[in-house]
Amino acid sequence: MADKNTLIVGGGIMGLCSAYYLHKKGYQVTVLEKSQGGMGASFVNAGYLTPSHIVPLAAPGVITKGLSMMMDSKSPFYIKPRWDIDFFKWAWSFHKSSTKEKVEKAAPIIKDINLLSSKLYDEIKESRDLGDFHLEKKGLLMIYQTDAYGNAEKEVAAKAKEMGLEVSNLNADELKALHGDMKVIGKGALHYFCDAHSTPNVFMAKMREYLIKSGVQIKYEEEVLKFDYSDSSIRKVHTDKDTYTPDDIVLASGSWSNNLVKQLGLTLQVQAGKGYCIDVHRPTGIELPAILMEAKVAITPMEGFTRFAGTMEFSGINYDINLNRVEAIAEAVKKFYPNVEITQEEIRNAKCGLRPVSPDGLPYIGKTGHFDNLFIATGHAMMGWSMGPATGKLISEVLEGNTPSMDLKPFDPERKFL
């Protein structure tokens, strides 16, 4: 495929993983990223590989809960009141997707793509293409302080076990024993041994370096403005700096995807779900990744620092940081780990990223029906990091015309939300 060139729009985890697998297949690849790089959801996420997260965000009661929290500036789930037709349509599709039946149907699909991706992370590490990078398999703790959250997670754990995932139910004493001298407050936890964790900025930097050395062009601060198309094919891609005539295009532009496809007469229901993170570059004593269930806060011991991440804020496409929400993360950590101190300076240095959220909790992966040379890779919500390599591999397979490693029908970019 050396004579075919592919243009990837977006330099996050989806764009770089797509570039990685297309390069392996012999394609000439160019990646366009409108930012300077090093920012966004691909760099500030919790770094989890989570086959255990079998329940999609679009679960029964989520919208109702979000509406009830609209007046609480420190709630873990927040919807900013605003007049936005695209958001209204997305919210209605989200509501229609939030049924018990659809959640049960989505669970094995989410598990399978996460397991595929976890295997691919291992393969990338074993290949030494990127040299060595941080990837640990200590599992993931879901720590709860109330019976309501504990019982809900035990139901999820039971389903995970039925699907063949390894999980252990810990009582309060077992949870404390697992932490040694580190004080932790919780009634118990579910320990998912199938999960792993990594350091996103390390992986992204090494992937970028490998791709550039391998001949992949990565152009930062270059924004796609419009497309020229005819006869079910996109002919040209115009940016603020150049014009490209690729054979194929992979749209991996996250929360900005719908704005780009609108000019093609397409609709891609995606909303930006903002998340925040605090990085503490000093010893915290935390050695195991954990999610604090009541607060929806994720804690990850990364390479050289500990990351505290959380919130799902639907407030449009912006990088505004609401310090109330950041402080809520720090306060939640204190309730579970009373000896961990997060300073005001660390809170002020918090970063945010915009997760692209589809209405049904499943990503968009595959070719569009309207254009022969347009492929979509977005909509992964909170599991983008976990699903990155799998998405890249699936995109490379469908672009080449091969049978993909998974059935792509559930990920159809033009599926209807009925």
- Could you report the per-residue pLDDT of 232-241, keeping only the tens digit for each? 999 999 999 9
CATH code, 5-411: 3.50.50.60
pLDDT in tens, 165-194: 999 999 999 999 999 999 999 999 999 999
pLDDT in tens, 42-78: 999 999 999 999 888 767 776 666 666 656 767 788 8
At residue 1, does pLDDT exceed 60? no
The pLDDT of residue 418: 74
At residue 124, does pLDDT exceed 90? yes
CA distances from 354 to 11, 62, 271, 315, 375 (A): 14, 19, 9, 10, 21
pLDDT-derived band at 327 (thresholds 50, 70, 90) equals very high
Distance CA 397, CA 403 (A): 7
Distance CA 14, CA 254 (A): 9
Distance of CA 22 to the CA centre of its chain: 21
pLDDT in tens, 96-116: 988 889 889 999 999 999 999
**Which sign, positive or negative, has the C-alpha torsion 285, 290, 296, 300?**
positive
DSSP 8-class letter at 379: -
pLDDT in tens, 192-235: 999 999 999 999 999 999 999 999 999 999 999 999 999 899 99
Residue range 69-96: mean pLDDT, rounded: 83
pLDDT in tens, 331-387: 999 999 999 999 999 999 999 999 999 999 999 999 998 999 999 999 999 999 999
> Domain locations in the chain?
5-411
The pLDDT of residue 71: 60
Label residue 407 exposed, middle or buried (CB < 10 Å: 0-12, 13-18, 19+): exposed
Angle, CA 136 vertex, CA 294 and CA 119 arms, to 5° = 100
The pLDDT of residue 70: 59
pTM for the model stands at 0.95
Query: At 154, which helix (H) or strand (E)?
Result: helix 147-162
The pLDDT of residue 302: 98
Lookup: tokens for 101: 């039946």
The pLDDT of residue 359: 94
> Taking all residues of the chain, what is their mean pLDDT, rounded to a whole number?
94
β-pairing, 224-230 vs 233-239, is antiparallel
Q: What percent of the chain has pLDDT over 70?
A: 96
Q: From the CB of residue 277, how many other CB atoms can be counted at a distance below 10 Å?
A: 24
pLDDT-derived band at 82 (thresholds 50, 70, 90) equals confident
The pLDDT of residue 62: 66
Residue range 299-306: mean pLDDT, rounded: 98
pLDDT in tens, 140-162: 999 999 999 999 999 999 999 99
